[in-house]
Amino acid sequence: MPILQIEKIMISEKQKNNSDNKIKIACILLAFLNIKVVSRSLESVIEEKHRISERIELDIYVVENYSIATESELSPYLSDLANKGIIFKYVKFLNNITNNAFDHAISTEMLDYNNYDYIIASDGDIEIPIGTIDEQLSILKNCHEVMVCSLQIDSTNWTQTHGIANKGKALSEEIANLAKEDKPYILKEAGFWFLMFRSKELEKIVTFAQSNGFRVLDITYRRIVYFIEKKLWVMTKKSIGRELNRDEVFSKSYYSVDRSAIKQQFINEGWNCQPVMYQHNKISNCLIYTKNKVLEFSPRKLMDFNPIKIEKYTYDKLDSFFGTILDEITRAGLPLRFISKIPKVKEAGVYIVRKGLGASFYLEESNTLFIQMRGEINVPPISKKSFLMVDMGNFLEPLEPLTEIENIDKFLIDACDLLKPGGFMQIVFPNSSKTLNKLGNSNFLIENNIDCTIHKVDSDEAKLPKNYSLIRIEIGNNHKDQN
């Protein structure tokens, strides 16, 4: 069959018949390597497709990352299903680009969201039971607080290794307790276990994620759902499936795949963002198989995950991008806080996050801005130095043993320089802290032209844990205001 070169193709260019009232769903499965796992998972979805066919039109897409089993096993099997119309499309990437294959498959470049009411995105190792799609639809139709509905997984079948088995047992017990709540779903986030989204909502997530350089990772998508959209990610209560790749019966394969070797290959190619196998910008052409047709397609390069292929971290142009927002935040007297990770409960202001979503920034709402810390320990190059308060909390405590004292000094100097005259910074130190002792014995801040006074807040007043001190650094009115 000839391979046609094309400029652009939408994965779901299929012309829908608007005269019927069927619910239209796209189901996208990511396949790799193990024909036994892929076929078992796919057969369960095909069985569900036939069962609901009078009410629901389910288009099945299988997206495959290239492996040593592609040409001998997976491609003949999947292309045959596509040629017979059993699956809607089979997308074969010609290189292994890990989760980037998923990113391309659900991008607006390759998926026409307007054709579907709902989208299912899943790893290709999930065996689903009869009734799964009906239960997920019921939850999304009746529970507007829910944005994502996952299939519940029977983790007692996680027998691949002893460690995984222990995790599976603990998860099973947790889910059993959560299932007692009087809700039509289980309030528990999950991986890509047959996730169902309302089409427009997944498009919103994908557009936000890809425009900020995020890659498809369950933890990243969960944070977007929770923090950006303020919605819930839940599990089915009745339908319980199986994750085959963690089941020893299915995970054993006569192929030996060394994940550490794949990771090292990525590192050798220059990708250094962590986790390196899932935060890279590798791209690959793909072949798209449909009924009686094969097309070759070259996806657009994904937005750079910043930083990619560079040794030194850089920030985005914070002032030009967030100038108005920063002005409003500082005008309202809202603080700047340094935190280890994005908190679930927070106040308005600017947050410098050491462990955030993994990209440069994001907005939770108009008066809250999160900025991802770059590099080891530093202060973002914000030139608008007008904060009334910088709150460090105990941000420095885990970093201090790992960081040269000179770097801590520079960090504190730069942080003080963000304060306007009359502002203050507060930091919690363990009493054994070298930085605490240094602040008490010599005022290196004054020596570096920071007009300030330093004093310790009474521990009873501050309600501190035992053996901790709260230091308050107050900026004098003569401090140079650089606004």
Task: State the alpha helices, DSSP H only, in 35-99.
Answer: 35-51, 75-83
Q: Per-residue pLDDT tens for 226-251? A: 877 889 999 999 999 999 999 888 87
> Furthest-apart CA pair in the chain: how many Å?
80
Pick 89 or 439 by higher pLDDT: 89
Mean pLDDT taken over the chain:
84
Q: Please check whether residue 355 is in contact with residue 274, taking contact to mean a CB–CB distance below 8 angstroms.
A: no
Q: Which one, of 70, 55, 56, 51, lies nearest residue 27 by Cα?
A: 56
Q: Per-residue pLDDT tens for 9-59? A: 444 444 444 436 899 999 999 999 999 999 999 999 999 999 999 999 999
Name the phi and psi angles at 242, rounded to 5: -140, 130
**What residue ranges in 32-130 does DSSP mark as E strands?**
56-64, 89-93, 118-123, 126-127
Confidence check: pLDDT of 115 > 90:
yes
Q: Per-residue pLDDT tens for 172-230? A: 999 999 999 999 999 998 999 999 999 999 999 998 788 767 788 887 888 788 877 88
Q: Please check whether residue 135 is in contact with residue 238, taking contact to mean a CB–CB distance below 8 angstroms.
A: yes
What gap in Å lies between CA 262 and CA 235, rounded to an integer?
32
What gap in Å lies between CA 116 and CA 478, rounded to an integer?
62
Helix (H, G, I), strand (E, B) or coil at 106: coil
pLDDT number for residue 359? 47
Confidence check: pLDDT of 308 > 90:
no
Q: Please check whether residue 13 is in contact with residue 109, taking contact to mean a CB–CB distance below 8 angstroms.
A: no
15-19, 203-207, 421-425, 451-455, range with the lowest pLDDT:
15-19
Question: In what helix (H) or strand (E) does residue 177 lie, and over which residues does it extend?
Answer: helix 162-178
Q: Per-residue pLDDT tens for 153-167? A: 999 999 888 888 999
294-298, 402-406, 442-446, 452-456, range with the lowest pLDDT:
442-446
Q: What is the mean pLDDT of residues 320-341?
A: 80
Domains, the chain, with CATH or none: 4-297 (3.90.550.10), 318-475 (3.40.50)
Q: Please check whether residue 373 is in contact with residue 353, taking contact to mean a CB–CB distance below 8 angstroms.
A: yes
